[in-house]
Amino acid sequence: MQRIVLITTGGTIEKTYDERTGELANRRSQVDRMLQELRLEGVAVEVVELMSKDSLEMTDDDRARVVAAVRQAEADDADHTLAGIVVLHGTDTLTSTGRRLHDELGQPKVAVVLTGAMRPFEMKRSDALQNLTESLFASRLLAPGVYCVSHGRTLPFPGVAKDRELGTFVAVET
């Protein structure tokens, strides 16, 4: 059985609506609800709930925690079943974390895939489940490296930017 470590940091993908206050906020991870929607054969997903933050609120220390969590996932692979690592992240600063992972990890043992959503999982027309599904699949197939997977695209770091007008991530020259 292959294993994927899924590190959650919050972001829009995991925001929930509070009827009392009328706000969307990161309160708790929604990843278990998302995973229940999927049929995953031959793979076990290990969820690491690292934090639950809007990515605009993430600090350098938070990004260091993401790097450390990825390193820990690789270090914990004594049985060599780790097939990939997926990081759920807010889209506003996903590229900052991706660049940091690329710069600090050197050559990871497996593909490290960052993804998020433009609309929360619990909203209609959300891209959350699509992006999560694509990321889980891609993490098992891609060569070791750091990538952004979103909306049917796989983009390697460095060279990824959020295009706010298109509402997706695009490749850019570095």
Whole-angstrom CA distances from 36 to 71, 102, 118, 119 are 27, 31, 21, 19
On whether the CB atoms of residues 128 and 117 are closer than 8 A, the answer is yes
More confident residue, 73 or 28: 73
pLDDT band, residue 124 (cuts 50/70/90): confident
pLDDT score of 14: 63
The pairs formed by 30-34 with CB atoms below 8 angstroms and a separation of 24 or more are 30/120, 30/121, 30/122, 31/6, 31/88, 31/132, 33/121, 34/121, 34/128, 34/129, 34/132
Residue type, 150: S
More confident residue, 24 or 128: 128
**Which one is catalytic: 8, 9, 12, 97?**
12
Specify whether 12 is catalytic: yes
Convert the pLDDT of each residue in 10-44 to its tens digit. 876 665 656 677 665 556 667 788 899 899 999 99
Convert the pLDDT of each residue in 135-166 to its tens digit. 999 999 999 999 999 999 999 999 999 999 99
5 pLDDT above the threshold of 90: yes
Q: Is 154 left (phi over 0), alpha (psi -120 to 50) or beta?
A: beta
Domains of the chain as residue ranges with CATH: 2-171 (3.40.50.1170)
116 pLDDT above the threshold of 60: yes
59 pLDDT above the threshold of 80: yes
Using DSSP, state whether 85 is helix, strand or coil.
strand
Work out the percent of the chain whose per-residue pLDDT is above 90: 70
Polymer length in residues for the chain: 174
Between vectors from CA 139 to CA 134 and to CA 144, what angle results, nearest 5°? Answer: 145
pTM comes to 0.90
Whole-angstrom CA distances from 28 to 50, 84, 136 are 11, 24, 21
